[in-house]
Structure 1
Amino acid sequence: MTNPSTLYRGGVLHCPADPSATALLVSDGRIAWLGTDGDAPPADRVVDLDGALVTPAFVDAHVHATDTGLALSGLELSGVRSAAQLLDAVAGFAAGLPADAVVLGHGWDESGWSDPALPDAAALDRAAGGRRVYLSQASIHSALVSSALLAACPQVAQAAGFDASGWLRRDAHHVVRAAAQGSVSRAQRVAAQRVALSHAASLGIAAVHECGGPDISDEEDFTGLLGISGAGVPEVYGYWGELGGAARARELGAVGAGGDLFADGALGSRTAHVSQAYGDGEGCGHGYLTVEQVRDHLLDCAAHGMQGGFHAIGDAAIGTVLDGFAAAAATVGVERLRAARHRIEHAEIMNRRLIARFVEYGVVASMQPAFDRLWGGAGRMYEARLGLDRSLESNPMGAMHSVGVALAFGSDSPVTPLDPWGSVRAAAAHHNPAQRMSVRAAFAAHTRGGWRAVHLDVEGVLALGAPATFAVWSTPAGVERGLPVLQAEDPEVRGPEDPTPLPVCRRLVLRGEVIYEEGSS
């Protein structure tokens, strides 16, 4: 028995193959017809779009769903601008918790404070009334923790990245992160995952790529999230970041053995592995993998028919990963590497030579345009860490797109918020004009690019026979050539902080099923 058909009519469709289309028919989860209202076939149900825009739904190519849900329902710290404000926020939040609870917070970023001095562990103890405190920095690669939490995991003092002040990085951060998140019950984790996915749906996101792994989430958390994929919420495509873990990734239901398989850390924590020393700190960060480890991981992926990938932010780390690609190609050949569409997550600090090697090996660049919006430009974190010249070379999405690098855009939520249209605008309004993309190209990277990154090449378009996965939008700034207006007409106003109102999702359809509707509970 077939499902009832639904005709959506009276809209503006992002359908380059038929720019005049105003209606589409959904039947059995696919687009069965496209055209103008007057030519529409009969249907079991009719939805009047009332002039709304219909586009392919978004894909967020890098998320952490449990952390996102916990951040949405927990202590959100992105708005604090000083140590005093952070402590006040902790005190206010902790006051409503049981005495044995762990205070979980996220999002502080001292690079934007007038005084970057941070509170120490003892100050967090006082603010939280003696409770254990774990506050992840915006990058999620370091955290501030209280003395009470340090005492709960004494082994942390022997780990790399430990500091008695309570600001922990590297292995020490992984230890306290596991201890803090161990306090969250399984029921709370499931609830957080649903909160995150429901929020994604309300923004027109029909699929997410979950980046898990031993240092990020436990296996039960990962498989539990995959278990609710598409069940009234967006679909979840999982990546398990364990070195040499291709077989295990397949057993867990992952589509790839990659994601957050760390080749380095993050710029915010000064642990990204860069080729020149940080301008506001000592050293060049940390490389966590060798060329040989990268090579062997890619060969393991080839042996198990799995897509691989790595988290690499600094140019030195990216160079190590690409040297590993070259070493793997000596065994399996370049074409086999290209066919696998292996990924590098973030790819923030690049140069022409590295970009050319992305093209050579067919590497998908999973990137986050919001990184430039938040931390690029004069006087912000990238300039502080790298100096002005190097900061202008960061997140080179425009240069990569122009030479054919496959791009898949996402948020790295909760590092930056789920915000797909904001990300499209950020790519089009990069702080460095030389790195800007067209809105059309950025939209493709955030829709079809995400599907192609998981080898689903027929997805992400409004076309006859394609899966009926699309979003319906209110567009307060209007529509131009099948896409919403995202930028001001005045070039002087355009930029990362453009005030033009963004579209609002009215309905999200995933393979013919409505999984979000504005105003519904």
Structure 2
Amino acid sequence: MKAHLYAFFALLIVSISSCGPAFEADVTLANAYIAQFDGDSLYYLHGHIAVQDGKILAILPIVEGKNTLPAAKDTVDLQGAYLYPGFIDAHAHFLGQGLAMNSVNLWGAKSWSECVDRVRAFIAEHPDASVIRGRGWDQNDWPGMEYPTLEALEGLTDKPIVLSRIDGHAVVANSVAMELSGITAESRIEGGEILHFPNGAPTGVLIDNAESLLKIAQPSETERIDALLTAQARCYSLGLTSVHDAGLPTEDIDLIHRLQDEGQLTIPLYVMVSESPEALKLWKSRGPLKSDRLDVHSFKFYSDGALGSRGALLRQPYNDRHDHFGLQIRSYDYKQEAAQEVAAMGWQMNTHAIGDSANHFMLELYQAFAPNNSRWRIEHAQIVSAMDRMRFGGSQALLPSVQPTHATSDMDWAVERLGAHRMPDAYAYLELRQAAGGILPLGTDFPVEEVNPLYTLYAATSRKALDGHPSEGFQIENALTRSQALKGMTHDAAYAAFQEEELGEVKSGLWANFTIFTEDLLTCPEDNLPLLNVLQTWVQGACVYTAKP
């Protein structure tokens, strides 16, 4: 670790007096190893970057014996640090991350009783909370892998408690929340499941569309603003310069737009509109929303649920539940009609599809209705047959959008859900990339997974969990190279949003979005990758994060 860099950091910002020579740039980032893509390879140019009006004005190589440092108002000496295109998370839940950070943290809990203890502590620390929300439990990490039940939540408070599973595709609610929502033993909903005790009473667990039965007060505008700013600070500290939010209602999109106009929220966001017949009609009338920091021209659909809660829609029954195929969130007829409408609008259709049945249907539908170069996306593309993988790419430029840490989070139990015979079709990232013509946008799905993009890089290339298991890597034949993964976190993510002429590379004319490290991400020892810290994060020509010495 080049520790002397941190000791020097201020970062040697040198202001040039107004009576000095005329300047060409607002700021020059000097003496950096600048990452450049050449196909699937990455190399470094030792040089300087001149930035003006938030964009890259010029990249000038250092030439021995010559002063190639461009004049500027300010110069930042990076002292030989490694500068990468600003990292982009191609699939996340930005607002959801902030809300999760301000609720009961259930990540990593090793039992339901540990979750309950955390809820109890949160209630004591937040006596004024009107609704107790939490997120992060995962029954697959507990002895017996059994779903939780509401019994242990009784008596903790007279307020509603709603605790989301790690993937957001299931919740457990206390009896107060269930009664306020009118959920009884007779309640049913298409595309969702309500779990019951042997006597027929609800256990409190609601899966996929059943979550919509809850009628609990949503976070206030003040809470949502706080959540957005909390998420922004977290993203900047980890080197993220842009995020694709995978589904927000119009109300939240309008709030983000307002905060960006006011200068409170500065992170650029590509936001998918959460689909509904009403949303399709509204945005057809409004048209796309495009500013320097906000891009809205896509809809987020759901074809199925999640594998961990057995909501992923499979073509054959679950290996560990032989009477169950998963859940179809929306009818095929509805999605066909919606696809035609989205195509007529010239928007993107981005669909959550995890199970092989859900992927098969959506890819068939995309091939039938997607215009050329539509870049319609399959979000997750988790279990896709070899025949269906070949549907990606082509003249329609159909894209898989994947999250490598899902593979390493699921690997210890996925075979129980799927059976060994289906595993070759699961988490096949390299094969998906090849089918899509060498394009594979990468994200995390935070807050389902950790925000840190270096965890994405590590999981995509090593196919290991953070503790280093398995030593040989999980289905290592589908690992990406580091250059391929870095491209997926930058250029490919930009391409998936039609933004490749704006960001995703370090090139003249593009936004000056940079993620800077003291270490070379190509040669750093594998096990050190998740441990590295960002030196600086730049967004549109402004330094938004600097590591403390």
TM range (shorter): 0.7 to 0.9
Q: Which residue in 2 is equivalent to 1:333?
A: none
Relative distance call for 1:187 and 1:439 in structure 2 (3 A) is: same
Q: Which residue in 1 is equivalent to 2:485?
A: 442
Equivalent residue runs for 1:107-506 within 5 Å: 107-126=136-155, 128-155=156-183, 158-160=187-189, 161-163=193-195, 164-176=202-214, 179-180=215-216, 182-213=217-248, 218-229=249-260, 231=263, 233-243=266-276, 245-249=279-283, 251=286, 253=289, 255-259=296-300, 261-281=301-321, 282-328=323-369, 337-360=371-394, 361-376=396-411, 380-403=412-435, 404=437, 406-430=439-463, 431-458=474-501, 459-475=503-519, 479=520, 483-488=521-526, 498=527, 500-506=529-535
Secondary structure in 1 matching 2:153: helix
Relative distance call for 1:505 and 1:382 in structure 2 (3 A) is: same
Distance between the aligned counterparts of 1:65 and 1:8, measured in 2? 29
Relative distance call for 1:159 and 1:3 in structure 2 (3 A) is: farther
Based on CA coordinates, which of the two structures has the bigger radius of gyration? 2
Q: Report deviation, 1:99.
A: 6.7
Distance between the aligned counterparts of 1:243 and 1:93, measured in 2? 34
Distance between the aligned counterparts of 2:129 and 2:78, measured in 1? 51
Q: Count residues in correspondence.
A: 486
Relative distance call for 1:221 and 1:467 in structure 2 (3 A) is: closer
Secondary structure in 2 matching 1:130: coil
Relative distance call for 1:99 and 1:229 in structure 2 (3 A) is: closer
Relative distance call for 1:457 and 1:43 in structure 2 (3 A) is: same
Secondary structure in 1 matching 2:433: helix
RMSD value, Cα: 2.4
- Select between 238-247 and 38-47 the one with higher mean Cα deviation: 238-247
Q: Report deviation, 1:158.
A: 2.0
Read off the aligned partner of 2:182 and give its amino acid letter.
P
Q: Report deviation, 1:14.
A: 0.8
Distance between the aligned counterparts of 1:405 and 1:35, measured in 2? 29
* Structure 2 residues not aligned, in runs of 5+: 1-21, 196-201, 290-294, 464-473
Q: Report deviation, 1:358.
A: 1.4
State whether structure 2 residue 132 is matched by structure 1 residue 97: no
Read off the aligned partner of 2:31 and give its amino acid letter.
G
Percentage of pairs with the same residue: 25
Secondary structure in 1 matching 2:133: strand
Q: Which residue in 2 is equivalent to 1:85?
A: 114
Question: Under a length normalisation based on structure 2, what TM-score does the superposition of the two structures give?
Answer: 0.83
CA contact (8 A) 2:109 2:137 kept: yes
Q: Report deviation, 1:168.
A: 0.8
CA contact (8 A) 1:258 1:343 kept: no
Distance between the aligned counterparts of 2:23 and 2:61, measured in 1? 24
Q: Which residue in 2 is equivalent to 1:8?
A: 29
CA contact (8 A) 2:23 2:72 kept: no
1:359-381: CA deviation from partner (whole Å, max 9, x where unpaired): 244212111111012112xxx23
Distance between the aligned counterparts of 1:200 and 1:388, measured in 2? 37
CA contact (8 A) 1:246 1:257 kept: no
Distance between the aligned counterparts of 2:413 and 2:346, measured in 1? 40
- Select between 320-329 and 438-447 the one with higher mean Cα deviation: 320-329
CA contact (8 A) 2:461 2:482 kept: yes
- Select between 290-299 and 417-426 the one with higher mean Cα deviation: 290-299
CA contact (8 A) 1:484 1:503 kept: no
CA contact (8 A) 1:108 1:138 kept: yes
Read off the aligned partner of 1:401 and give its amino acid letter.
R
CA contact (8 A) 1:4 1:27 kept: yes
Q: Report deviation, 1:117.
A: 3.1
1:207-251: CA deviation from partner (whole Å, max 9, x where unpaired): 1111225xxxx4322321243348453101111131554453353
Read off the aligned partner of 1:358 and give its amino acid letter.
F
Q: Which residue in 1 is equivalent to 2:61?
A: 36
Secondary structure in 2 matching 1:327: helix
1:236-286: CA deviation from partner (whole Å, max 9, x where unpaired): 111113155445335383633322x11111111111101121122241101
Relative distance call for 1:73 and 1:241 in structure 2 (3 A) is: closer
1:345-400: CA deviation from partner (whole Å, max 9, x where unpaired): 11100121111111244212111111012112xxx231221123423431211111
Distance between the aligned counterparts of 2:58 and 2:24, measured in 1? 16
Relative distance call for 1:86 and 1:19 in structure 2 (3 A) is: closer
Secondary structure in 2 matching 1:40: coil
CA contact (8 A) 1:83 1:117 kept: no
CA contact (8 A) 1:68 1:196 kept: yes
Relative distance call for 1:82 and 1:444 in structure 2 (3 A) is: same
Q: Report deviation, 1:499.
A: 5.1
Equivalent residue runs for 1:16-31 within 5 Å: 16=37, 19-31=44-56
Question: Under a length normalisation based on structure 1, what TM-score does the superposition of the two structures give?
Answer: 0.87
Distance between the aligned counterparts of 2:244 and 2:58, measured in 1? 30
CA contact (8 A) 1:451 1:460 kept: yes
Relative distance call for 1:100 and 1:189 in structure 2 (3 A) is: closer
Read off the aligned partner of 1:129 and give its amino acid letter.
T
Relative distance call for 1:501 and 1:155 in structure 2 (3 A) is: closer
1:167-226: CA deviation from partner (whole Å, max 9, x where unpaired): 1113221222xx34x24221011110111122111111111111225xxxx432232124
CA contact (8 A) 2:273 2:298 kept: yes
Read off the aligned partner of 2:251 and give its amino acid letter.
E
Distance between the aligned counterparts of 1:99 and 1:48, measured in 2? 48
Read off the aligned partner of 1:415 and give its amino acid letter.
V
Distance between the aligned counterparts of 2:234 and 2:270, measured in 1? 17
- Select between 402-411 and 66-75 the one with higher mean Cα deviation: 402-411
Relative distance call for 1:80 and 1:501 in structure 2 (3 A) is: closer
Distance between the aligned counterparts of 1:100 and 1:401, measured in 2? 45
CA contact (8 A) 2:208 2:329 kept: no
Distance between the aligned counterparts of 2:78 and 2:253, measured in 1? 37
* Structure 1 residues not aligned, in runs of 5+: 330-336, 489-497
Distance between the aligned counterparts of 1:419 and 1:221, measured in 2? 24
